[in-house]
């Protein structure tokens, strides 16, 4: 494993510790299953204070200012051309809008948390390029510590991805030499307690997170809006005490799509609710109101297909396209279990629409369907709720309003109560 990594990954410091990667990945899933505590304060992590690009379409340099040196690893990918830089978790204090514009070989770049203890910077390139040099400079002569990446243009024939395409499905977000204190130990799941609890499990899935901002408008990011909504829904459900509520994320962390589904399946969840907030491209006009999506093989309309395509790209946005979908899911999609689950999902969607339309504005076509990867758990009723459009001024005003959020959360909690009370009465507890 180490020799293969040496061939494929350029390191700015020590090599990536495979054991650390495995431990961090297991922590992400285990912690999500047992409702992790709030992340360590961002003040404990190295601070990134500024980032800049220089150069032209032949040679481009990226510089990241830091308050201390860090180790890193770099990876190049094709189709589309990207450069991925993994570092220990950083406290990004970059000016608003950083990375939206590009220069030279870089169209744009994005940054954020991909897992507890690990951050990532992803560069979208204008074409094939190689990493001519990458290094970290210590603070000196009044200058802060800096991470420097130098890119050079190459033609497609000369471009060599750091990671061959056939190996990409096995990749997971990784960090290089993160201090041990930044990666919490994986808590052992208490299966006995789970069995003793006996309450139905409701999984709430705030979309996006970390390096994946989702849609953005007027300084607001979808990842933050839906996290606030998800936490409010969790608090409302937990206060009633009828369900065991699990969040796929309760902080600004990136979670791959398949891992979100695995959490629900591993816990034998009675319901999976994914929370999002859409944005319509200006060329397609304006839209407003909440929309409820369920899984289908064929999209109900062009807008549903557009949204599913966008949401299904989440893993690519984070830098790597992870496994398309687990084999067991692919094999069971035509099974009766899947059909029954879709029936329950559709039933909950209709109930949720009835409850929500009494308290919040709904889209003119509030029930839609498409092939969302995050809804493909074959044995867990699942819906994806777009609570509004961040591209619509009125909707955005609601999304940032605590009063509106409280009303919307209340109607959603009512729908969950109605759905699970009826289902459990006929089928018994799911776990």
Asked whether the predicted pLDDT for residue 102 surpasses 80, the reply is: yes
As a whole number, the mean pLDDT across the chain is 80
- What burial letters (b/e) apply to 186-209, b meaning 16+ CB within 10 Å? beeeeeeebeeeebbbbbbbbbbb
Residue 283 has pLDDT above 90, yes or no: no
Distance separating alpha carbons of residues 196 and 13, to the nearest angstrom:
48
Which segments of the chain belong to CATH 3.40.630.40? 191-427
Query: What secondary structure letter does DSSP report for 253?
Result: -
Predicted pLDDT of residue 32: 38
The distance of Cα 251 from the centroid of its chain, to the nearest Å, equals 11
pLDDT at 225: 97
List, in sequence order, every beta strand (DSSP E) within 257-343. 271-278, 290-295
Exposed e or buried b per residue across 305-339, where buried means at least 16 C-beta atoms within 10 angstroms of its C-beta: ebbbeebbebbebbbbbbeeebeebeebeeeeebe
- Averaged pLDDT for residues 369-380: 91
Mean pLDDT to the nearest integer, 182-204? 62
Structure tokens at 217: 């408008």
Across the range 313-336, mean pLDDT stands at 57
Specify the pairing of strand 10-11 against strand 47-55.
unpaired
pLDDT on residue 121: 96
Q: In 3-state terms, what secondary structure has residue 320?
A: coil
| Interval 9-18 mean pLDDT | 31
Give the pLDDT of residue 157: 86
Q: Is 354 exposed, middle or buried (0-12, 13-18, 19+ CB in 10 A)?
A: middle
Q: Tell me the whole-structure pTM to 2 decimals.
A: 0.76
Q: Concatenated DSSP letters for 16-37?
A: P-HHHHHHHHHHHHHHHHT-PP
Q: What confidence score (pLDDT) does residue 191 get? A: 53
Integer Cα distance of 60 and 71 in angstroms: 21
How far is the first Cα of the chain from the last one, in angstroms, to the nearest whole number? 39
Tell me what percent of the residues of the chain surpass a pLDDT of 70. Answer: 75
Please tell me the predicted confidence (pLDDT) of residue 282: 63
CATH architecture of 191-427: 3-Layer(aba) Sandwich (3.40)
Average pLDDT over residues 303-310: 90
Give 394's Cβ-side CA count (13 Å radius).
9
Backbone angles phi, psi at 285, to 5 degrees: 85, -155
What is the Cα–Cα distance from 348 to 371, expressed in whole angstroms?
18
Mean pLDDT of 123-138: 95
> What is the residue-wise DSSP string for 397-428?
HHHT-HHHHHHHHHHHHHHHHHHHHHHHHHH-
Q: Residue 175: pLDDT above 70? A: no
DSSP symbols for 137-187? EPPBTTBPEEEEEEEEE--GGG---SS-GGGGGG-----SS--GGGSPPPP
| pLDDT, tens digit (0-9, with 9 covering 90-100), for 397-427 | 999 999 999 999 999 999 999 999 987 666 5
Beta bridge partners of 110: 122
pLDDT of residue 192: 54
- Whether 4 contacts 218, CB under 8 Å: no
How far apart CA 415 and CA 336 sit, in angstroms, is 25
What per-residue confidence (pLDDT) applies to 317? Answer: 82
What pLDDT sits at residue 9?
A: 31
What pLDDT, on a 0 to 100 scale, did the predictor assign at position 330? 41
Max avg pLDDT among 162-166, 284-288, 347-351? 347-351
Mean pLDDT is highest, among 28-42, 146-160, 277-291, for 146-160
Cα separations (Å) of 323 from 44, 155, 171? 33, 28, 8
> May I ask the CATH architecture of the domain 2-182?
Sandwich (2.60)
Lowest model confidence (mean pLDDT) among 71-85, 270-284, 350-364: 270-284
Percent of the chain clearing pLDDT 90 (strictly above): 58
Using CA atoms, how far apart are residues 368 and 296, in angstroms rounded to an integer? Answer: 9
């Amino acid at each position: 494993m180490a020799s293969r990594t040496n061939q494929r990954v350029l390191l700015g410091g020590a090599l990536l510790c495979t054991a650390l990667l495995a431990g961090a990945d297991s922590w992400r899933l285990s912690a999500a299953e047992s409702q992790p505590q709030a992340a360590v304060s961002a003040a404990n992590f190295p601070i990134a204070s500024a980032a800049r690009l220089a150069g032209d379409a032949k040679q481009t340099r990226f510089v990241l200012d830091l308050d201390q040196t860090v180790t890193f690893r770099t990876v190049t990918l094709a189709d589309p051309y990207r450069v991925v830089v993994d570092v220990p978790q950083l406290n990004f204090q970059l000016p608003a809008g950083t990375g939206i514009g590009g220069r030279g070989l870089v169209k744009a770049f994005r940054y954020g948390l991909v897992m507890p203890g690990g951050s990532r910077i992803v560069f979208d390139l204008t074409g094939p390029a190689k990493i001519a040099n990458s290094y970290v400079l210590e603070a000196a002569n009044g200058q802060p510590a800096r991470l420097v990446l130098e890119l050079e243009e190459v033609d497609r024939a000369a471009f060599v991805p750091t990671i061959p395409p056939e190996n990409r499905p096995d990749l997971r977000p990784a960090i290089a030499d993160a201090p041990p204190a930044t990666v919490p130990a994986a808590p052992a799941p208490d299966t006995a307690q789970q069995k003793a609890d006996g309450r139905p499990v409701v999984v709430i899935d705030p979309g996006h997170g970390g390096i994946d901002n989702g849609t953005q408008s007027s300084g607001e990011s979808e990842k933050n809006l839906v996290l606030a909504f998800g936490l409010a829904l969790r608090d409302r459900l937990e206060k009633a005490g009828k369900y065991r509520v699990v969040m796929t994320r309760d902080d600004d962390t990136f979670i791959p799509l398949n891992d979100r589904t695995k959490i629900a399946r591993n816990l034998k969840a009675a319901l999976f609710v994914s929370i999002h907030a859409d944005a319509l491209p200006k060329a397609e006009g304006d839209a407003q109101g909440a929309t409820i999506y369920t899984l289908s093989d064929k999209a109900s309309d062009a807008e549903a297909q557009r949204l599913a395509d966008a949401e299904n790209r989440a893993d690519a946005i984070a830098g790597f396209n992870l496994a398309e979908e687990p084999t067991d899911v692919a094999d069971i999609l035509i099974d009766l279990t899947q059909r029954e689950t879709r029936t329950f999902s559709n039933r909950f969607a209709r109930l949720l629409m009835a409850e929500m339309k009494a308290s919040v504005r709904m889209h003119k076509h509030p029930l839609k369907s498409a092939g969302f990867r995050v809804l493909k758990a074959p044995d867990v009723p699942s819906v994806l709720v777009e609570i509004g459009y961040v591209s619509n001024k009125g909707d955005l005003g609601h999304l940032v309003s605590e009063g509106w959020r409280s009303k919307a959360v209340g109607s959603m909690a009512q729908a969950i109560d109605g759905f699970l009370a009826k289902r459990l009465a006929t089928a018994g507890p799911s776990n």
